[in-house]
Chains A and B, each alone.
Chain A
Amino acid sequence: MEETVGSNFYEDAQVLLESVLKELLLRIDLLRRYEVLSGRNDPVEHCKGRIKTERSMIDKLQRKGLPVTLEAALEEVHDAVGVRVVCQFVDDVYQMADIIRRQEDIKVIKEKDFIKNPKPNGYRSYHMIVKIPVHLPDCTRELFAEIQLRTIAMDCWAALEHELKYKQEIPNQELLQKELKRCSDEMASTDLTMQTIRQMIAGADSK
């Protein structure tokens, strides 16, 4: 059963969150089209977003020892709005991060490069915490959003790791974790091999 506090936790801010999510998805769509119009490759394979469910927002606030209030949800937690940008190649990830950084109205608050510095379990992605303005009749509000950029291989890996993390009581969990880490290192290596081949093809083209 849902707690009553969870049923309408975001209150009026739900509209703001939805607006930020739409704005971000629309922007990324536009940027992709513009890259193609300019004769370059679409750097993005696919892109999706979500608003954190009220249940998991409350869980997160409690886990972090924060007050379970809307204010904390919007100011202390930065991924009420989350967008995931999945690219084909590693350079595309960095290129997209560059493009996002150049957007005048998007304020980059924090960046974490888990590709260059993967988490110990093997998690690789590029994370950006940004602030996006929402224009209301009488004021402008800024809301946090988290953008995760990664390659298809990293995305596939993260999906499997997610399954392992949320499944209880798996026999030989430790072995599977170790194997997953190995997979991540293998996929990262292959990502770089493919990027090198791609650069060689591009280099041969321009000659």
Chain B
Amino acid sequence: MRLLLAEDEKELSRALVAILQMKGYEVDAAYDGAEAYEKITAQMYEGIILDIMMPKMSGLEVLEKIRGEGILTPVLLLTAKAEVEDRVEGLNRGADDYLAKPFVMAELLARVNALVRRGGVYSVQNYEVGNVQLKPDGMELSVEGNSLRLAGNEVKMLSMFMGNPGRTIQVSQFAGHLGEEEPFDESMVNLYVSYLKTKLDSLHADVTIDGDAKSGYRLVEGAMV
């Protein structure tokens, strides 16, 4: 599970990163709103912790922008002021939860755990990227009328890709969403990426999967048709 922590108070950020890492999360830190936005659009996260008061872009602005781009990653807002307005505003703009500063570390951890638990939205909705459509409930991948029926793990993996177009997904992140029966290790990820590439290609999809096991994989548009 990979988290983004956007918090401009460096010392607090360092402490939070250390504790979250100790609890088994991989954590990237951003120190202002613009940096947070940049990271969120480049890399897939299972959860985002956003401080509201940040330089360059406020947490609320970042939130509104990413939701506007269809990024549905669960977001926990950190509100400095105990003002109701901020919380309401945050929830209205698409936050999943909030926590008022100052907070107790145990509560933050509990809320983060709950946040990423709810992140398993990837297999219920339909996706459309480029000329490719994925209907997870029918396990159907189609391009302009030509369709293939995928296996369960292929659907889940492609849902992650199509839910995060253009954003890098690390090999370790697949493990959390796939392989309930057997561990989804690096060679499995590579194999399933190959399956999906072959299948997208055979359907003349205008998207493909780029990258490698080391730097992560991402769905890119503009493949050769």
Contact = CB atoms under 8 A, between A and B. Distances in A.
A186 to B, nearest CB: 4
A90 B199 CA distance: 12
Given A116-B202, A116-B204, A189 B194 contact: no
A196 B198 contact: yes
A189 B191 contact: no
Interface residues of A, number: 17
A99 to B, nearest CB: 21
Contacts, number: 40
Contacts of A188: 148-149, 202
Given A117-B146, A186-B149, A192 B194 contact: no
Contacts of A182: 149
B199 A189 contact: yes
Interface in B17-31: none
Given A117-B146, A118-B146, A182-B149, A192 B195 contact: yes
A189 B151 contact: yes
A115 to B, nearest CB: 8
A66 interface: no
B132 interface: no
A185 B195 contact: no
Contact of A192 (B140, B145, B198): B198
A41 interface: no
B133 to A, nearest CB: 13
Contacts of A189: 148-151, 154, 199
B113 interface: no
Contact of A185 (B140, B191, B198, B204): B140
Interface in A171-207: 182, 185-186, 188-189, 192-193, 195-197, 200
A95 to B, nearest CB: 15
A199 to B, nearest CB: 8
Interface size grouping (class) on chain B? 10 to 19
Interface centre among A115, A196, A200 (most CB of B within 10 A): A196
B134 to A, nearest CB: 13
B146 A116 contact: yes
Nearest to B141: A189
Contacts of B125: none
A91 to B, nearest CB: 10
A116 B202 CA distance: 6
A185 B150 CA distance: 8
Contacts of B146: 116-118
Given A192-B195, A200-B191, A200-B194, A185 B149 contact: yes
B147 interface: yes
A4 B11 CA distance: 98
Contacts of A118: 146
B147 A195 contact: no
A38 B150 CA distance: 36
A192 B151 CA distance: 12
A82 to B, nearest CB: 25
Given A192-B148, A192-B199, A200-B194, 5 more contacts: A115-B202, A116-B204, A118-B146, A193-B198, A197-B191
Interface of B: 140, 145-151, 154, 191, 194-195, 198-199, 202-204
State the 3 A-B residue pairs at the shortest beta-carbon distance, nearest first.
A185-B149, A186-B149, A189-B148
Interface of A: 90, 115-118, 120, 182, 185-186, 188-189, 192-193, 195-197, 200
